Amino acid sequence: MNTRRAATFMTMAVSLTAALVIASLVAFTFRNDSGQCAFSPYIALTVFIPVLVTGLVQIIFQRRDHSAVFWGASALFMGLAGIVLLVYLDRSETLVHYDEQIVRGPLVLEPPSLDTR
């Protein structure tokens, strides 16, 4: 296997790994009713940032190989989508670490009011 094919295979593997991490985060979020978790969701950045960089490098250095560019763009998209998902989960307080929740204050879930006064 030459180095270009090995790089494409590696990019394909990291892209699929990022998709698996995104699916795991979404599944955990749906099963978690409290909005709190024992781990920091930002630990997933250790996956998404290298995937983003790998996709960018693959696109820059193998522009002539269409398969390599496809998997590079896929990795770039997966890395960016994972980072956006993490920011959304944090900002909407859908999935927050226990310690961070203590600093931010209690999560108040108020039912919608029908009073129009």
Q: Is the residue at 16 inside a domain? A: yes
- Which residues neighbour 67 within 8 Å (Cβ) at sequence distance 6 or greater? 8
Q: Dump pLDDT digits (tens) for 9-41.
A: 999 999 999 999 999 999 988 888 777 777 778
Residue 47 lies in a domain: yes
Specify if 99 maps to a domain.
yes
111 within a domain of the structure (yes/no): no
Query: Can you tell me the distance from the alpha carbon of 80 to that of 60, in angstroms, rounded to the nearest whole number?
Result: 17
Taking 70 as the threshold, does the pLDDT of residue 46 lie above it? yes
Residue 44 gets which letter from DSSP? G
Domain encompassing residue 66: 3-22+36-104
Enter the tokens of residue 46. Answer: 């250790």
Instruction: Answer whether residue 117 is part of any domain.
Output: no
Total tally of structural domains belonging to the chain: 1
Taking the model in full, what pTM does it have?
0.80
